[in-house]
């Protein structure tokens, strides 16, 4: 029985970037609107899954994701991604944590 973390996603899965709990929080509506333009949510498709070797014997699960708005895929840690179906719930929980 292996204790190593397994890949959660497979090629072809639709995913979203997890909501971030850090960043700028504005009170005034006009400032919120200005900040919102820099906080666009990304949605995409997993095109490759792989293990990245870190220093020593450590490894990290990474995904190559083709974001809908980009032409080339980018690499992301598996833990920073969520299934697209779960994103609305995570966003609600994140907003509740931030008091929004």
Query: Which pairing describes strands 14-17 and 43-53: parallel, antiparallel, or unpaired?
Result: antiparallel
Q: DSSP string of 12-42? A: T-EEEEPPPS-S---SSHHHHHHHHTT----
Q: What kind and span of H or E run contains 61? A: strand 59-67
- Which residues are CB-neighbours of 26 under 8 A, at least 6 positions away? 32, 34, 35
Question: What is residue 5's predicted lDDT score, i.e. its pLDDT?
Answer: 63
CA atoms lying within 13 Å on the CB side of residue 66:
9
Q: What is the pLDDT of residues 7-47, one digit of tens each?
A: 889 999 999 998 876 654 555 555 455 445 445 788 999 99
Per-residue confidence (pLDDT) for residue 86, from 0 to 100 = 92
CA distance 83 to 29: 30
Tens-digit pLDDT profile for residues 43-100: 999 999 999 888 888 888 899 999 999 999 999 999 899 999 998 888 888 777 766 5
pLDDT of residue 39: 59
Structure tokens at 81: 């991604």
- pTM equals 0.74
């Amino acid at each position: 029985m292996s204790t190593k973390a397994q890949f959660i996603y497979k090629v072809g899965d639709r995913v979203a970037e997890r909501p971030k709990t850090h960043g700028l929080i504005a009170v005034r509506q006009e400032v919120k609107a200005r900040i919102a333009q820099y906080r666009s949510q990304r949605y995409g498709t997993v095109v490759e899954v792989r293990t990245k070797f870190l220093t020593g014997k450590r490894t990290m699960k990474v995904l190559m994701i083709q974001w809908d708005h980009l032409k080339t895929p980018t690499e992301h840690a598996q833990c920073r991604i969520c299934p697209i179906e779960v994103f609305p719930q995570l966003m609600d929980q994140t907003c509740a944590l931030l008091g929004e």
